Amino acid sequence: MAGRRQVAEESDPELDMSSLIDVSFLLLIYFLVTSTLDPKEADLGMTMPTSNSDGSAEVEIDQMTVEVNSSGHIVLNDEVLDTDPATREVPMLLDRLKTYAESARLTDSKPMVIIAADDAAKGQRFIDVLNALADEGVGISNVTITGFTEE
Amino acid sequence: MASAKLQAAIRAAEGEDLAMDMSSMIDLVFLLLIFFMVSSHLIIIKVDKNVKPPIATNARVAKNASGRIVVNIYADGTILDENSEELPTQESITDYVDTERLKMEDNGVPKARLHLRADKDTDTRVIKKVVQAAGEAGVSDVIFGSFVVEKK
């Protein structure tokens, strides 16, 4: 009897953690399987021209006007370029923009694009044009929008 | 006198369990946690889940989200500020952008930018209205919130 009491007094009391870890892993696996990750939102920038000019004598080349009509067709100088609003690719516009950006680079001037989007055109199509402007081979951030309606 | 290691080995051979000291590992984990908490900076923009942003493959994930005036536009054309309060008129948008811009200037942000979170199905008319109102408030840099890949 005396020996058993001595053993009880000497050994440290321990908590069995294994079941807790089992439950934790079970919950972890449940949330890993059921959860979906939201993609990160990214930035597509544009700079509107301001009236406060810094006075630098920069050669300006002709501005390019890109029209987006209510059907989502992209028109440049009365020529319809990309007509499928369901796709995010605008190869013909991209080609023209690259040529325009290159000619601006050669004349050492700042390219500028005017987007004339129809009021009823969808936001995605407007972004498609901006996306083409932000392409590596184009890189035009100087953009202005026309067709504001007075309220 | 047997060494501590030897004593432990003898005890193990006798059937006693060997326990690993976890305290130093936990110390290290907490040290790393505190380091990353201190050195990292959070990008805080309130994301309105009712807005489904368009897709733009050339968009870039922001490294710094400071100095942004957030405006949300729903697919039906409803315009809301970052705190989901409706901005019904062009004047109210201009007032909101102007107030936020002045607040940012007071906090040392020289150039505020408009962060436009427009739904992909929004009419361009509404986007133009917000951009025009922001221009009237003196904000000419516009950032369009978009996804690089389509959300599943």
Question: According to the model, what pLDDT value does residue A8 have?
Answer: 55
Q: Is A114 on the interface with B (CB under 8 A)?
A: no
Q: Indicate the helix (H) or strand (E) that contains B96.
A: helix B90-106
Q: What tens digit of pLDDT does each residue of A33-92 get?
A: 988 777 788 888 888 776 544 444 455 667 888 999 988 899 987 888 888 888 888 889
> Which residue of chain B is at minimal alpha-carbon distance from A137?
B58
Question: According to the model, what pLDDT value does residue B13 have?
Answer: 63
Distance in angstroms (rounded) separating the CA atoms of residues A65 and A75: 9
Mean pLDDT value across chain A: 81
pLDDT by position in tens, chain B (length 152): 556 666 766 666 666 667 778 888 888 988 998 988 887 766 667 788 899 999 999 888 887 778 899 999 999 999 999 888 999 999 999 999 999 999 999 988 888 999 999 999 999 999 999 999 999 999 989 999 999 876 55
Return the half-sphere exposure (C-beta side, CA atoms, 13 A cut-off) of residue A85.
Answer: 18
Question: DSSP string covering B126-151, please?
Answer: HHHHHHHHHHHTT--EEEEEEESS--
Contact A44, A134 (CB under 8 A): yes
Residue type, B18: L
Closest CA to A43 of B78, B45, B151: B45
Residues of B in contact with A43 (CB under 8 A): 59-62, 115, 143-146
Look at A124 and B55 and tell me if their CB atoms are within 8 Å: yes
pTM summary value:
0.72
Which residues lie below 8 Å from residue B119, measured CB to CB, with a gap of 6+? A123, B50, B51, B52, B53, B73, B74, B75
Q: What tens digit of pLDDT does each residue of B33-70 get?
A: 898 888 776 666 778 889 999 999 988 888 777 889 99
